[in-house]
Amino acid sequence: MERLPLLRLARWLFAALAAGTLAGQILELERAAEIPRASMTLRDSRVVVVLPGGAAERAGLLPGDRILAVGGEPLSRGGEALPLLQRLAPGREATLLVRRGGETRELPYRPDPPQRGDILWRFAVGGVGIVTLLIGVVVFLKNPRPLTFTFGAICYAMGALVQPPFVPWLTGLLVARKALLMAATLFVPPLLVHLFLAFPLRHPWLDRRGRRVGLLYAPSLALLALALWALARIPPDAADPLGPASLLGPSATILWIAGVGAAITLFAVAYRRARSRASRGRVRAILWGTILGTLPIAAMLAVRAVRPALAIPGDRLAVLAVILIPLSFGYAIVRHGIFDLSLLVRRSLALSLLAALLACLYFVLQMALGELLPGLAAASPLWLPFLSLCAVGLLLPPTYRGLERLLESRAGAGRPRDELIYEFGVALRGMLGRGPLVRLISESVAEALGASLVACFEPARGGGLRAAYLAACPPRPSPPGR
C-alpha cells in the first residue's frame, strides 16, 4: 500500500524527465546535417585518438592534449570539448586553446563538413536512443509497478547515453546534463541486477532481505557523489586529477563489468530454474538480447580502461547493440504478454517497434546502396532515399499483416496452469514474512485470472475489512461489513 503514492509520484516525475530528454534528443537529431565530421576521439576534454587525414591531424593535435577553449569559448564548468567542436561551422577556421604537457598553445582548426555516412550514422544512433527511451516510458506509464519502473529506468538511462539530449550552452544546463549522464552511466549496472533479481522468477533473497536491496545502489551513489564533487571542485583547465577523483574512471569500469556480469548470471540461473519449455520460451529472447546488448559495451569499456588510445574495430556497433535489450523485451511483451500489459498497449508498442525497425532498415539500405551503386548516388542525391523508401514501403504491408495476426493469436492467451503452479512453488521457497506471502498470492492469482486490479482484504479490529495489499490500482476505501 505504501508503494502506490511513491509510484504515482515516480510516474509523473518519470514522464516529465522523459519528455524533456526526448525533446533534447530530437533537437540534437535535427542538427545531424550541421555537425562537422568527427576527426578525433575525446574523453571529456582530453584527446584520446587522432584520426589520420582529418581536421585534428591537420591542426597538429596529438593524443594526450587537453582542449581548454574552442573558438575563444572556454570550457565552463560541466562543459565538454566535443559539444563545442560540434557547434563549429564546417569549413570555417577556429582557434583551439590546448594544453600539452606543461605548455599552453593555440592551434588553428578547420572542421570538415559531414559526409552522407556521418549523417546516416547520427540518425541511426539517434533513432536507437529515442526508441530505447520510448519503450521504457510506454511500459512503465501503462503499468506502473516496481518491476516496470526498474525496466523503464534502464531504458531511459541507456537511451540518454546513446543519444545525449541537446541543451543550450549555459553553465547550469551543462552541469545538469553532465550530472544526468553520469547518473545514467553509474546506475545501469545495479538496475540490471535489481531487474533480474525480480524477473523472470523472483529471487528468494528479495523476500528474505528485500529491505537491503538499496545496498545494490550504494557503490553507484558513492561514485556519483565523487563525480559531482570533482565536477564542482576541479576546474575545467586543471591538470589530470589526483587522489580520489583519479579512481572515478577505473571504478566505473569495474562497476559496469561486475554489474553486467552479475545481472546476466542471475538471468541465466533463473532461466535454468524455469524448467517448463513455455516458461523458457517467454524469456529466451530477453536473455540473448541482454547478453548481446550489454557485453559488447562492457568489453569496450574494459579495453579502453587498459588501452585508452587503442582503436577498437566495430566500436560503433557496440553502441547500436544497446537497442537489443528493449527490443527483446518489446518482442516478449508483444509475443508472450510479459508485464501483463493490455492488448491495446501491446499493439501500440508493437507498432512503435515496427516503425523503429523499418527506420533502421531505411538507413541500412541507403548505406548499402551507396556502396553498391556509387554512380547512382553521384548522378542524383535523391535516388538512394527514393529506392530505400520504395523497399521499405514494399515490406510494410506484409510485416504489418503478420504483426496483426500475431497480436490476434495472442489476445487472451493465458499461461499454462502447470507453469504458474511451478513458478509459484519456486517463489514460495524460503519465504517467511507475511507481507511477501500476501503479495505473492495476490500477484499469482491476478496472473492466473488475467486480472488488472488486485486487492487483498483482511478483517479489521473495529469490524469491517481493511486492504492488506493493493496492486495496479489506486487505493480505495474499504467497504464496510464482511
Write the secondary structure of 195-257 as one string of H (helix), E (strand) and C (coil).
HHHHCCCCCHHHHHCHHHHHHHHHHHHHHHHHHHHHHHHCCCCCCCCCHHHHHHHHHHHHHHH
Residue pLDDT, tens place only, 391-416: 777 776 777 666 666 655 555 445 55
Q: Are residues 84 and 197 in the same domain?
A: no
In a domain, 126, yes or no: yes
Residue pLDDT, tens place only, 300-350: 777 766 666 566 655 666 777 777 887 787 777 666 666 655 554 555 556
Say how many CA atoms lie within 13 Å of 239 toward its Cβ: 7
Q: Of 326, 341, 356, which one is at a domain's C-terminal end?
A: 341
User: Shortest CA distance to 106 belongs to which of 76, 52, 70?
Assistant: 70
The span from the CA of 289 to the CA of 309, in Å, is 29
In a domain, 478, yes or no: no
From the CB of residue 134, how many other CB atoms can be counted at a distance below 10 Å? Answer: 21
Stated as kind and residue range, the H or E segment containing 58 is: helix 55-59
Given this model, what pLDDT does residue 1 score? Answer: 40
In a domain, 5, yes or no: no
Q: Provide the grid cell at 213.
A: 536491496
Helix axes 248-273, 277-306, angle to 10 degrees: 160
Q: Are residues 25 and 46 in the same domain?
A: no
In a domain, 358, yes or no: no
Distance (Å) of CA 241 to CA 248, 255, 378: 10, 20, 50
Q: Are residues 108 and 229 in the same domain?
A: no
Stated as kind and residue range, the H or E segment containing 103 is: strand 103-109
The span from the CA of 256 to the CA of 186, in Å, is 8
Q: Which residue has the higher pLDDT, 360 or 125?
A: 125
Q: Are residues 306 and 442 in the same domain?
A: no
**Stretch 422-449: mean pLDDT:** 72
**Stretch 120-127: mean pLDDT:** 81
User: Shortest CA distance to 56 belongs to which of 45, 47, 64?
Assistant: 47
Stated as kind and residue range, the H or E segment containing 391 is: helix 383-410
Q: Give the domain range for residue 448.
A: 419-471
Q: Are residues 15 and 94 in the same domain?
A: no
Q: Are residues 255 and 269 in the same domain?
A: yes
Given this model, what pLDDT does residue 471 score? Answer: 62
Tell me the DSSP string of 267-325: HHHHHHH--SHHHHHHHHHHHHHHHHHHHHHHHHHHHHHH-TTPPPTTHHHHHHGGGHH
Among the residue ranges 67-81, 102-116, 161-175, the one predicted with the least confidence is 67-81
CATH number of the domain that 75 lies in? 2.30.42.10
Distance (Å) of CA 336 to CA 279, 330, 419, 449: 10, 10, 14, 16
What is the percent of the chain with per-residue pLDDT over 70, rounded to a whole number? 70
Q: Are residues 215 and 247 in the same domain?
A: yes
In a domain, 21, yes or no: yes
Structural domain count, the chain? 3
Instruction: Check pLDDT > 50 for residue 2.
Output: no
Q: Are residues 66 and 212 in the same domain?
A: no
In a domain, 428, yes or no: yes
Instruction: Check pLDDT > 50 for residue 298.
Output: yes
In a domain, 298, yes or no: yes
Helix axes 3-30, 116-142, angle to 10 degrees: 160
Q: Of 113, 136, 152, which one is at a domain's C-terminal end?
A: 113
pTM of the model: 0.70
Q: Are residues 59 and 142 in the same domain?
A: no
For residues 205 and 262, the answer to whether their CB atoms sit within 8 Å is no
Q: Of 85, 113, 141, which one is at a domain's C-terminal end?
A: 113
User: Shortest CA distance to 162 belongs to which of 199, 194, 134?
Assistant: 134
Instruction: Check pLDDT > 50 for residue 478.
Output: no
Given this model, what pLDDT does residue 481 score? Answer: 44
Stated as kind and residue range, the H or E segment containing 126 is: helix 116-142
Residue with cell 535489481: 194
In a domain, 282, yes or no: yes
Residue pLDDT, tens place only, 448-458: 666 667 788 88
Q: Are residues 24 and 142 in the same domain?
A: yes
Helix axes 146-162, 324-336, angle to 10 degrees: 140
- What band does 446 get if pLDDT is binned at 50, 70 and 90? confident
The span from the CA of 52 to the CA of 70, in Å, is 21
For residues 374 and 329, the answer to whether their CB atoms sit within 8 Å is no
Among the residue ranges 117-126, 249-258, 356-365, the one predicted with the least confidence is 356-365
**Stretch 178-187: mean pLDDT:** 90
Q: Are residues 73 and 179 in the same domain?
A: no
The span from the CA of 329 to the CA of 251, in Å, is 29
Q: Are residues 79 and 161 in the same domain?
A: no
Spatial CB neighbours of 315, under 8 Å, sequence gap ≥ 6: 300
Q: Provide the grid cell at 311.
A: 582503436
- What band does 352 get if pLDDT is binned at 50, 70 and 90? low
CATH number of the domain that 208 lies in? 1.20.1070
